[in-house]
Amino acid sequence: MKKTRMVFLAGMAMLAVAASGETLINGAGATFPYPIYSKWFNEYHKLHPDIQINYQSRGSGAGVQQVTAGTVDFGASDYTLTDTQIKEFATKRGSEILAFPTVLGAAVAAYNIPGVTTSLNFTPEALAGIYLGKITKWNDPELVKNNPGVKLPNADIVVIHRAEASGTTFMWTDYLSKVSKEWEMKVGRGASVNWPLGLGGQGSEGVTGQLKQTPNSIGYVELTYVLQNKIPYGKVKNAAGEFVQADLASVTAAAASAAKNMPDDFRVSITNAPGKGAYPISSFTWLLIPSKISDPTKKKALADFLGWMLKDGQTMTTALSYAPLPKEVVAKETKAIAKIN
């Protein structure tokens, strides 16, 4: 009894010591990169026991709002910051907001057509046509001519999309806006949009559940999710004219080909990226960090974490089905860390 109490007291004392010397950094934002972020923050804490980074995955909207309001030290978002958001941050916090790409995500076209087991080829015209409600049958010429040898049924296409606002929807609609003028005019890009047609599934599991149960359906799903759940999906024709299967390599390739024209603030959409082997429906996800951090320990810790994330952190991404950053982007970002002061 006495012994356990001693051990308990000793444990408490150690905790107290640890707590007193610990720097606590709080962040909030995007849900998509949450698994890799929590892995990173955990690994980083093991290397630097005096630094504890907490992250609440509350959604990109909340991430931008909270970092702008100053209730967290950093935010995270799946979308490029808008000019309004940057201006609002500047007026409220008196400094710049810096966006650092961390990993890449992609959206793939999954489908359930009875009798079709091969990986279908989708052209941008086919995807836009299906989601606009102009291509309504699986044996539409646009689909048939790009899938020689596949017996596509004379059946109505059931369109499925994500119901809740998400980065995956943003990528998908951003891509459709780039490849179809009509889509851009009628629907546009956004985390949630006014869909011309289709059923809304709640979350990746909702979309895939709906796909499995609805014959002749098509839906878009986050790449991480289909890789982990072994769901078949189609190839998409990229800007270079080749049909590309989405995987971690082709997504990183898309980012690499976009890296040449990368602006200094990393606000860039990489959908429909040029270059061979690039999968066209992908996007960065960003950490949002204020350029002025008053607490010197926090400033040092965040800068150090970014450096570690770009080097050692990137090696942990593929195990969790995230596409790592291409080296061109890593090099550019490493330089940008110096902007935090």
Partner 1 sequence: MATATLPRATRFSGRASILRRAFSGDSLAQALVFLCATGILALTALLVWELWTRSALSRATFGFDFLRTGTWDPVAGNFGALPFIYGTVVTSAVGLFIAIPFGVGAAIFLAELAPPKLSDAMTFLIELLAAVPSVIFGLLGIFVLVPMLMKIVPGLKDALGVLPIFSGPFYGVSLLSAGVVLSVMVAPYIISVSREVLLAVPRDMREAALAVGATRWETTWDIVVPHARRGIMGSIFLALARALGETMAVTMVVGNTPKIAASLLAPGYSIAAVIANEFAEATSDLHISTLVELGLVLFGITIVLNGAARLLILATGRKAG
**Binding stretches for partner 1 (CB under 8 A):** 31, 58-62, 64-65, 79, 82, 85, 156, 158, 163-167, 187-195, 198-202, 206, 209-210, 213-214, 217
Task: Give, for 81, the enclosing helix (H) or strand (E).
Answer: none
Residue nearer to partner 1 on the CB measure, 166 or 272: 166
* Minimal distance, residue 200 CB to partner 1, in Å: 3
Burial of 5 from C-beta contacts in 10 A (0-12 / 13-18 / 19+)? exposed
Q: What is the DSSP string of 117-182?
A: -S--EE-HHHHHHHHHTS--BTT-HHHHTTSTT----S-BPEEEEESS--HHHHHHHHHHHHH-HH
Q: What is the spatial distance between Cα 213 and Cα 201, in angstroms, rounded to a whole number?
A: 12
Residue nearer to partner 1 on the CB measure, 82 or 297: 82
Question: Which stretches within the chain are classed as H helix?
Answer: 2-20, 34-47, 60-69, 83-93, 124-132, 141-144, 167-179, 181-186, 203-213, 223-229, 248-259, 296-311, 327-336
* Minimal distance, residue 62 CB to partner 1, in Å: 6
* Minimal distance, residue 106 CB to partner 1, in Å: 18
* Minimal distance, residue 83 CB to partner 1, in Å: 13
DSSP code of residue 339: G
* Minimal distance, residue 187 CB to partner 1, in Å: 7
Residue nearer to partner 1 on the CB measure, 71 or 82: 82
Q: What is the spatial distance between Cα 254 and Cα 11, in angstroms, rounded to a whole number?
A: 50
Residue nearer to partner 1 on the CB measure, 190 or 274: 190
Q: Are 234 and 306 in contact (CB under 8 A)?
A: no
* Minimal distance, residue 259 CB to partner 1, in Å: 26
Q: Are 174 and 189 in contact (CB under 8 A)?
A: yes
Residue nearer to partner 1 on the CB measure, 257 or 271: 271
Residue nearer to partner 1 on the CB measure, 146 or 214: 214
Residue nearer to partner 1 on the CB measure, 21 or 196: 196
Give the rounded distance of the alpha carbon of 248 from its chain centre. Answer: 13
How many beta carbons lie within 10 A of that of residue 291, not counting itself?
14
* Minimal distance, residue 69 CB to partner 1, in Å: 13
Q: Are 227 and 204 in contact (CB under 8 A)?
A: no
Neighbouring residues of 329: CB distance < 8 A, sequence distance ≥ 6: 101, 255, 256, 259, 262, 266
* Minimal distance, residue 159 CB to partner 1, in Å: 10
Residue nearer to partner 1 on the CB measure, 54 or 82: 82
